[in-house]
Structure 1
């Protein structure tokens, strides 16, 4: 989608942003800065975007609490939807294009740019055209969670039609995309969540539901394993649930894969996976003989285009939990910190 105009609009010199200024929880770490400069010199390979909406991700508040102080002086968050106001020589975009994407965490540390701003520059390779038929609010919540789900299913799990996947944390934003993508592929989907989310997940296509509040998931699966073992177990909750892995021989196929989300750089994630597989289940030690992988995302822009097509084709639908005004960012963080958001928590910027 693009406007008829290809000329760069006149931009204000200042803007309002939410900036991380110290380590801690969002209420302590964030400050609203109302006279921050609008970027004028855009590095090669980036486009300048007027942000329409941004969505919150757990990695955002986790980085506020964990990152070294030298990384903190930057604009918060990563996922966005907006309008290109300076294509900066990138031929795949032009002024007026409606786009979505995610600023890579490493890029945010380096440039100080973030999604909770009125204007920000983002790598063109981490940006894609917004699919027809969805709003900026919906588009702002796609990138990180959909990239995570897509990479887990297709690139690491190599899931195929007719296979079986267990999604631990099906009602999380990552889980919601994982379920929809797996069903679109033609897989049988098992998922866990609290009982109140059972009907919602079944409406997305879940075939078998497990209520984790009634019994630890690994115990339920050991006692009543599926008739055919899972080909993939995916931790959509954002961290490894070790008992689910260590007991997995009872319910994960011998050539199956246990995948955990790892908030680490690509190379480091791969190294951790190799070390885990060597030390946790060497055959000579009698350990768990199942493959363990920590997820890492590559080829961001290419995957975003594929995800956009899946949305356009109706295979995947964005799900929003709640929408907050730009001045109410701290309330939006309060919601995501509860751990009970069903879908994305979105902030309308403009």
Structure 2
């Protein structure tokens, strides 16, 4: 049986602010000793960063956040103790600690051990490494559940992924192609080869022209059934002009408007909220459905994602891998908006 220490080292969120101010490396965090029925204790091999992590650090006051808690959600690891029939010690797994669970237990993936429900984990596919698998869950489930559950994706449909080089966008392209759809995707011109390599049939350079202008002049045939905005554009134009290129009954999905910290950003956010949720069609509102992408900890979906990975239909997209002690540098990489795929932290130095 593996030796389990009493304390561990974690990156802990202690205050509101930029990761360099909000995070501290804590050397004295207790390792959970008791498991409830259905729980497992995971020795983390690798973790991955998600934009929601630094956004919540920056924007959510301490009054509304359960600080202090261990940062981040996605992980891969090895079961070292189990109170679940699904796993036994030694099993290699990947999964995530969802945000509500993180706030409740104060645990996250940027530590060496985490206690969590077995339902948030799946067996590691045989064709990927721990560092590759660490970033699958949150971005992969966001793309999968948005397309399958919210948009009711069907074979033969035509979809547009805005932000094809982002983590959610990269998964969305691959999942849609695996389901037999035609995929248009956007990114900067320098990322065209990368996005086409994921399976995109058509590419649009968003730096060369505004997307709503491009698709209004050159609409797809047939019109898109789904638009998935994977970067959270704050300008509502792609949505408000969408009747020109999004089919009646189609859906516009967004990972959530991502405003800049400025008066212009605040104004654009208000405009987007009004146009997407408040203005009725009879007062000039856009006659297309708008929804924010949701992610649920549904075991069957996690296993479905795992199957797509095992079959080689969805491949890992890792931008970079950082050592555990260099986590703040990893956040800088993620926040640069230049990462193509996941930014991963190697928690165990010898993790593959």
Map 1:69-88 → 2, pairs under 5 A? 69-70=62-63, 71-87=66-82
User: Unmatched 5+ residue regions in structure 1?
Assistant: 1-7, 264-273
Matched, 1:66 2:59: yes
User: Unmatched 5+ residue regions in structure 2?
Assistant: 258-272
Of residues 325-334 and 286-295 in structure 1, the stretch that sits farther from structure 2 once superposed is 286-295
Q: 1:96 aligns with which of 74, 85, 90?
A: 90
State how far apart, in whole Å, the 1-side matches of 2:118 and 2:59 are: 28
Q: CA deviation at 1:223?
A: 1.8
Q: 2:203 aligns with which of 206, 209, 215?
A: 209
Q: 1:46 aligns with which of 21, 34, 39?
A: 39
Decide whether the 8 Å contact of 1:276 with 1:292 is kept in 2: no
Q: For residues 326 and 205 of structure 1, do their structure 2 counterparts lie closer, same or farther at Cα, with a shift above 3 Å needed?
A: same
Decide whether the 8 Å contact of 1:64 with 1:72 is kept in 2: no
Residue 284 of structure 1 is matched in structure 2 by 282
Paired residues, what number? 332
Map 1:212-291 → 2, pairs under 5 A? 212-238=206-232, 241-262=235-256, 279-280=278-279, 282-291=280-289
State how far apart, in whole Å, the 2-side matches of 1:275 and 1:150 are: 27
Q: CA deviation at 1:239?
A: 5.2
SS class of match (2:131)? helix
State how far apart, in whole Å, the 2-side matches of 1:256 and 1:199 are: 28
State how far apart, in whole Å, the 2-side matches of 1:239 and 1:211 are: 15
SS class of match (1:175)? helix
Q: CA deviation at 1:240?
A: 5.4
Map 1:82-231 → 2, pairs under 5 A? 82-87=77-82, 89-231=83-225
Q: CA deviation at 1:207?
A: 1.2
Q: CA deviation at 1:329?
A: 0.4
Q: CA deviation at 1:277?
A: 6.4
SS class of match (2:125)? coil
TM-align CA RMSD: 1.9
SS class of match (1:10)? coil
Q: 2:19 aligns with which of 20, 26, 36?
A: 26
Decide whether the 8 Å contact of 1:99 with 1:129 is kept in 2: yes
Decide whether the 8 Å contact of 2:38 with 2:85 is kept in 1: no
Q: TM-score, normalised by structure 2?
A: 0.90
Residue 262 of structure 2 is matched in structure 1 by none
Decide whether the 8 Å contact of 2:138 with 2:295 is kept in 1: no
Q: Deviations over 1:254-293 (max 9, x none)?
A: 0111011249xxxxxxxxxx9976633x342232111111
Q: TM-score, normalised by structure 1?
A: 0.91
Residue 340 of structure 1 is matched in structure 2 by 338
Decide whether the 8 Å contact of 1:240 with 1:260 is kept in 2: no
Decide whether the 8 Å contact of 2:163 with 2:229 is kept in 1: yes
